[in-house]
Structure formats: C-alpha cells, structure tokens
Chains A and B, each alone.
Chain A
Amino acid sequence: MSAAAVGGESPLRRALRSGRVVVGGSILVVLLFCAAAAPLIAPYDPNEQDLLNALKGPFWTDNAAPGFWLGTDNLGRDTLSRLIYGTRVALFVAVCAAVGTMLMGTALALLAGYFGGVIDWLISRAVDLWMSFPPVVLSLILIVGFGVGIGNVILAIILVDWTRFCRVVRSEVLVIRRQNYVDAARLSGFSHMRTMVREVLPAAAPTIITLMSLEMGIAVIVEAILSFVGMSVEASIPAWGVMIADARNYMYQSAWGLVLPILAIVTTVLAFNLLGDGLRRTFDARLQQH
C-alpha cells in the first residue's frame, strides 16, 4: 500500500509526529553539523601530537589536562577533535554506501520482481550466493582484493549489502506488480521501463527509504570494523574504528579513550535505527493499528 493511501495527512508531517524520527533526526543533524564544520569547531588539528600530554582523561576525571576536554590518546592527540573529524568518515561512508546499495539493490529487485521468470531466478540465486557469506567475511575479502581506501570501503559495502535491499524490495515489487493500476499503465501503452520507474517504484518508496536509513547505520559499523582491523582509511585520516584500535592497547591507563569512540559509533547507529524504525512505523499500516 502506498504511503499516501494510509491517511489524509502528508507522510512527512506524520513522520515528524513520531518521537523516534524526531530524536534520530535531531542527533543526525548535530552529527552532520560536526562533520561539515569540523575545522571550525574542533579545538585542535586531529593529528597534532602533544607527547607531554599523552593519555589524559576527560575533564571530569582526575587525570585531565587543561585544554583537552575529552582527554588525549597515546600520542597526545586531542580526543574531542578526533571524534569530531571522525564524523566525516562515518557519515560520508554511510551516505555513499546507502545510496549505492539502494541503487544496486533496488534496480535488481525491480528487474527480478517485475519480469519474474529467468531474470528473477538468476537474481535470486545471486542473492543466495551472497547470503552464504557472513557479511564481515565478504567485506574483508573484497577489501583485500580492492585494496584499502575510503572509496574501496564504500564499494565493498555496496557489493556486500545490496542483497538486503534486493530481497525486501523484490518481495514488495511482487505484490505491487499484481495491482490493477500497473496493468492499466501497461495497457495504456507505457513501456516496461516507464511502468517500473513511474508506477511500481513509487509504491515501494516507503520501504526503500526505511531500508536506506537502516543501511546507513550498518555502513557506519562496517567502516568501523574495517578501520579497526586497519583495512579502511589511510592512517592520517581520523576514523572512530582507528581510535578504538589505538585506545585498546592503553585501556588500563585510559579507558575513556576506548569508551568515547564506542559511544560515538553507538549514538550514530542508534540515530539511524531510530529514524528507520520511526519511518517504518509511520509507513506501515499494520503497525499503526496497534
């Protein structure tokens, strides 16, 4: 069922009445601001070392150093600045990877669900093949194949996660394409392409939007995992996963160095999940009745 058919109100307004959407969206606005304005709001250069002030705690601890609000890492780099710059990598990967997986997964799902037959069989078997790898394993071997770097990380996430979109959107398309208005479009002389994009796709849009929000959270996690094992961005770019990997060796001296980037990741993923969850509830007629 399309979103507009559920109630008279516009979908955006209904979404904004959901607490989840508002909270998730607000956190994301703050994170986006941090990413965009990083050079303006970060107190230090994220790679600037101050070895005399290494492994300091945040300001509320006994081990704090003046000027370093959230403490420093083992090389005396400012944790707050690195966290702020880290939002850039996280959000960039999240947005690019989600758009990429959406395009690839939805295109294949449309083809499979709309045409059925051999095309559907081939695409569904490809999904089975992909699903027989744990996602982490597949993304690791792809990164080994492509080499490190932020572009390759995004590509690897797209090539791993397109199946998530494909499976869900395909089953949606299977239902939509049996609707009368789709037949009507074909009968009135619309081409297959036009029917898919103009008639079928909009009906699947609520699902696609929800999945994208969830996918952004997944992309943040995968990027963090890859940078944790040293297979993501170059060493000079601050990323949360790298901060965790660095801080893990010094957790007895300064546990906060480990806790803060973990919190940053969890908060970001939580924001995407709240947004996705809220949107799903807004769009899903069945859940609204409960």
Chain B
Amino acid sequence: MSGEILGIVLRRIAVAIPLMLLVSILVFIVLRLIPADPVAMSMPPNATNEDIEALRREMGLHLPVMHQYAIWLGHILEGDLGRSIAFGQPVFKLIGQSLPATIELAVLGALFATAIGLPGGILLFRLRGRPSEQAVDVGSTLMMSIPEFLWALFLILVFGVAFNLLPFAGRLPPDMTIPRVTGFLLLDCLLTGDLTAFLEAIRHMLLPALALALGTVPLIMRLLRSSLLDVIGEDYVTMARLRGVPERRVINRHALRNALLPTLSLMGVQFGFLFGGTLLVEVIYSYPGLGNLMVEAVRNTDLPIIQGAALVFALAVLTINLAVDVVYIVVNPKLRRAR
C-alpha cells in the first residue's frame, strides 16, 4: 500500500518536472516581452552610456535569449532567484519570508471551504424536489457570482467597518511582535507559548480566510450534490433503503462515502485556484504574504520578484494537485490493490 503510493508520487513528480520547466520557459518568455527596460530601471538618471552597456553585460542582456534562459534557470536551480530591483534584497529571501503567511492563509481558507461546502452540498441534495430547492439553487448561483476579492471587501464592510468586530489589516495588532522561529506565525506563537498572540493572529486571519473560502464553497456544494445524485440511484443505496435504514443514515453512511471521492478529486483543482485567490485577498487585507509581494512587484515592474513569485505559485498548484491525488488514493479503496 505505502509502496504503491510512493510509486504514484514518484510518477507524478516525474510528470511535474518537465511541466515546471515549461512553466519557467513560459514565465521567462512572457516577461521578456515587457516594454519596460530593466537596465534603465536599475540605473540612476545620470548614468552614462558606458555604465548602461556595462550593466547590460553584467545582466547578460547582450546574450541570445535561449542562452539568457539557461543562465537564469541555472541560477534558480542554485536557489538564486535574483535580486529585487525595488528592495535590493535577494528574491529568494523575500519569497521565503512571505510564503509561510500565504500557506497559513490558504490552509485555513481550504479548511473553512470544506467545513462549509460539504454540509452545504448535503443540504442542497436533501432539498431536491422541494419548493425551497429553487431558492437555494438561485442562492448558490448568486454566491458563484461573487469572487473572493469582492467577498473580501464585503466582509470588511460588514464585520470591520459596520460592526467593528474583527480586525482587517495585517497579521497582528501593531503593538505586538512575535520572534520568528519557523516563519509560520501561528506555529511561532505556540512555540513561544504566547496564547494571546495566537488568538490575535487567528482573529486577523478569520476574515481573509473566510473570503477565500466563500469563493470556493458554492463550487464544492454543487460538486457534492451532483456526485450524490449520481450514486443515489446505485443498488447498494436502494438495498440500504429496503433494509429500512433511515434516510439520514443512508446519505451519511452509504451514499456520502462514495460521492465524496469525485468531489475530492475536483476539490484539488479548486484549492489550486483558492491558492491563487490569496493574491487579491492579501492585497485587500494588507496581509504580508506572497500575493501582496507579487502585486507590489507588478506595480513596480520588479521583474525578478514577479518571475520568482509566478514560479512559486505554479509550484504550489502542482504540489496541491499531487497532495490531493495522494489523499484520493489513500481514501479510495477501489484503487488499492488486493494483497
């Protein structure tokens, strides 16, 4: 069983490596199209032509494009993503500082999405054929029409501005600091034994994580409902009903277990999108993560950061898909080989 999973993981990684290479080529080519001149941006206005030429050579811009790409890729493999034009710091370090925050936010968002989406899907399914189905259905279409960045603003207006219940800027109150141990703030709070800070950090994450989740919830609900519709006609469900098993138990114990599988595999794709959704949500909540870093870099045309962040986002999506595949195999008995 575990050897089988390992085999599948290795095979998926073998597919992911050429995919990552193609991703890097795509990122490189797109950002080579850029109208702004990276040399001009990193030079003082009084630089001479010789200075500019020297920097061009230093940055390798006089070389053919494929050669430039090879050099760039070589640096990446050594963990060198270049230096930020705006901050003057290594991109690797900047991304390393902001990525844990984004991962924490995305994980909490995914948890919320699952916790709301699955019961919602069951509810949607239970209501089939009733008059209220139409209302709930239109409600879920309405929810599908609200992307996470609008939820983010809306939640701020309601819980932050109107009722002043929850904070909506940053990760901690301005007067609170936590020594950096792992970079994961929640973990660091626990490691340093600071429960007040832990609760504050959670409070700060509630609204952005909820905004992320609400963008994904209607999709999970609909997926689960249609999976349940597919399995409810199966013989084993009818058998359970004939045996007099109560409807609630038929759904929870018999139908749900099988309906969850296709839902789970599609949830992987959704969580990949959810990770991308952190971009705008972080900007709106001034949350110091990868998305905020990238949007800031886009505004400054800070190419090394944009390239690095884009690669990390792609890597994250591939990792999420891989993780979901593994979970899928672990929980799906049909895919386990008989011993």
Does chain A bind chain B? yes
Task: Report which A residues bind B (CB closer than 8 A).
Answer: 20, 128-129, 131-138, 140-147, 217, 221, 224-225, 228-231, 244, 248, 251-252, 255, 258-259, 262, 265-266, 269-270, 272-274, 277, 290
Residues of A within 8 A of B153 (CB): 244, 248, 258, 262
Q: A137-B310, A141-B30, A270-B142 are in contact. Are A132 and B19 (CB under 8 A)?
A: yes
A144's partner among B31, B149, B269, B273 (CB-CB below 8 A) is B31
Which one of B79-87, B108-116, B298-306, B327-335 is at the interface?
B298-306
Given contacts A129-B22, A144-B30, A144-B298, 10 further A-B contacts (CB under 8 A): A20-B138, A132-B23, A133-B314, A135-B273, A137-B313, A144-B306, A255-B161, A262-B154, A265-B150, A274-B141
A-B contacts, 12 of them at CB < 8 A, read: A132-B23, A134-B276, A135-B276, A137-B279, A137-B294, A141-B306, A144-B298, A225-B147, A248-B284, A252-B161, A262-B150, A270-B142
- Report the separation of the CA atoms of residues A138 and B162 in the bound assembly, to the nearest whole angstrom: 35
- Flag whether B34 is at the interface (Cβ < 8 A): yes
A146 to B161, Cβ gap below 8 A?
no
- Flag whether B317 is at the interface (Cβ < 8 A): yes
A228's partner among B27, B149, B161 (CB-CB below 8 A) is B149
Chain A: which residue is nearest B162 at the CB level? A255
- Report the separation of the CA atoms of residues A221 and B152 in the bound assembly, to the nearest whole angstrom: 14
Task: Report which B residues bind A (CB closer than 8 A).
Answer: 19, 22-23, 26-27, 30-35, 128, 138, 141-142, 144-147, 149-150, 153-154, 156-157, 161-162, 229, 269, 272-273, 275-277, 279-280, 283-284, 294-295, 298-299, 301, 306, 309-310, 313-314, 317-318, 321
Top 3 A-B pairs, shortest CB-CB distance = A134-B276, A270-B145, A269-B145
Q: A134-B277, A136-B276, A229-B283 are in contact. Are A144 and B301 (CB under 8 A)?
A: yes
B146 to chain A, nearest CB (A): 6
Residues of A within 8 A of B309 (CB): 137
Residues of B within 8 A of A269 (CB): 145-147
B310 to A136, Cβ gap below 8 A?
no
Residues of A within 8 A of B272 (CB): 131, 134
A149 to chain B, nearest CB (A): 11
B313 to A290, Cβ gap below 8 A?
no
- Report the separation of the CA atoms of residues A9 and B284 in the bound assembly, to the nearest whole angstrom: 49
The listed residue with most A CB atoms (<10 A of its CB), out of B150, B162, B279, B314, is B150
A259 to B145, Cβ gap below 8 A?
no
Residues of A within 8 A of B299 (CB): 229-230
The listed residue with most A CB atoms (<10 A of its CB), out of B138, B149, B156, is B149
Chain B: which residue is nearest A247 at the CB level? B153
- Report the separation of the CA atoms of residues A262 and B34 in the bound assembly, to the nearest whole angstrom: 32
B69 to chain A, nearest CB (A): 15
A133 to B31, Cβ gap below 8 A?
no
- Report the separation of the CA atoms of residues A272 and B142 in the bound assembly, to the nearest whole angstrom: 11
Residues of B within 8 A of A20 (CB): 138, 141
- Report the separation of the CA atoms of residues A290 and B33 in the bound assembly, to the nearest whole angstrom: 51
Q: A140-B294, A144-B31 are in contact. Are A134 and B279 (CB under 8 A)?
A: yes
B141's partner among A132, A255, A270 (CB-CB below 8 A) is A270
B284 to chain A, nearest CB (A): 8
A136 to B279, Cβ gap below 8 A?
yes
Chain B: which residue is nearest A222 at the CB level? B147
Chain B: which residue is nearest A286 at the CB level? B229
- Report the separation of the CA atoms of residues A143 and B142 in the bound assembly, to the nearest whole angstrom: 29
A275 to chain B, nearest CB (A): 10
Chain A: which residue is nearest B134 at the CB level? A19
B150's partner among A132, A133, A135, A266 (CB-CB below 8 A) is A266
- Report the separation of the CA atoms of residues A272 and B147 in the bound assembly, to the nearest whole angstrom: 14
- Report the separation of the CA atoms of residues A266 and B215 in the bound assembly, to the nearest whole angstrom: 13
Residues of A within 8 A of B32 (CB): 145
Residues of A within 8 A of B314 (CB): 132-133, 137
A127 to chain B, nearest CB (A): 11
B14 to chain A, nearest CB (A): 14
Residues of A within 8 A of B147 (CB): 221, 225, 269
A136 to B30, Cβ gap below 8 A?
no
Residues of B within 8 A of A144 (CB): 30-31, 34, 298, 301, 306
A251 to B275, Cβ gap below 8 A?
no
- Report the separation of the CA atoms of residues A32 and B142 in the bound assembly, to the nearest whole angstrom: 20
The listed residue with most A CB atoms (<10 A of its CB), out of B30, B32, B128, B295, is B30
- Report the separation of the CA atoms of residues A269 and B145 in the bound assembly, to the nearest whole angstrom: 5
Residues of A within 8 A of B283 (CB): 229
- Report the separation of the CA atoms of residues A265 and B295 in the bound assembly, to the nearest whole angstrom: 22
A141 to B31, Cβ gap below 8 A?
yes
Residues of A within 8 A of B276 (CB): 133-137
Residues of A within 8 A of B279 (CB): 134, 136-137, 140
Chain A: which residue is nearest B280 at the CB level? A225
B313's partner among A134, A229, A230, A244 (CB-CB below 8 A) is A134
